[in-house]
Structure 1
């Protein structure tokens, strides 16, 4: 079977239409509702930042709390957070490793055999060690997310001011 015989389910044109229909037009609707590029950039920043936290299940809680607190669009913030889930999973082990490097602790092995052996010998101790390693990963995420969040905010704000139509003065 060669690559030319594989039929792609979509072409570049349909992908472009999909992005326009599912991403660009909903953002335009938010702008029509009075959401400023600043608020959208903040929404993207919070969703992306909280979407990378190395603690599964915490994304929705953090996105909801801060979107409500800052009066941003909750659904859009959570959507951005959910779109970041592949990144969250990809960065989970690196964040935990970074946290274990920052603090003087014995690193936890992340191989399946060693984790299985840890749980077989003392599952409560293994759970405690994994919980602590996860906490160190969250600390590493906090340290990395601040400069990354600032960069995401300013880049997305600049992009949104260029892409979105100017709002009429009230």
Structure 2
């Protein structure tokens, strides 16, 4: 089974990822996919990836694949980004869980948007502050890994 998966899935996928792309460009696509996956603005990462693909001529398969795999991190990091943003702006604490947010959006989307506007703006600011240095760190780490793997 392992050989079958490697031959039918991993090898073709690896060829697609490497097709006409340098290790730097591949690591750039993977880094963008990761950073955009954790943006604390629900429903925006795919659109932002498409913009990054067009703007930087990135490998669409690499960026979208990584983005979809890293997407659960968006939910896991939303609350920490929100709390960090509150600290940055010295804003009042907003106690909420991801479950509460999903419930609020399913019951009354307009109220959810109204209620979460400022906390989300704070979270976006925290994401920018953390995301920019993280982008450069990830880029260099991923590039090293890609070069080590022989891509």
Q: What TM-score comes out, normalization by structure 2 length?
A: 0.81
Aligned counterpart, 1:128: 114
Distance 1:56 1:145 in 2: 16
- Corresponding residue for 1:28? 15
Unaligned runs of 5+ in 1: 1-12, 166-170
Measure, in 2, the Cα distance between the counterparts of 1:111 and 1:29: 39
- Is residue 29 of structure 2 the alignment partner of residue 47 of structure 1? no
Aligned residues: 145
Q: 1:55 to 1:164 in 2, by over 3 A?
A: same
Q: Between Structure 1 and Structure 2, which shows a larger proportion of helix residues?
A: 2
Aligned residue number for residue 49 of structure 2: 63
Rounded Cα–Cα distance in structure 1 between residues aligned with 2:97 and 2:68: 27
Q: Deviations over 1:47-102 (max 9, x none)?
A: 00000001111101111101111111123212211111121111111011111111
Q: Is 1:110 the equivalent of 2:96?
A: yes
Are residues 102 and 21 of structure 1, via their aligned partners in 2, closer, same or farther at CA, if it must alter by over 3 Å? Answer: farther
Q: Which range moved further: 20-29 or 82-91? A: 20-29
Unaligned runs of 5+ in 2: none
What TM-score results when the alignment is normalised by the length of structure 1? 0.73
The structure that has the greater radius of gyration is 1
Instruction: Give the whole-Å Cα distance in 1 for the aligned partners of 2:6 and 2:119.
Output: 38
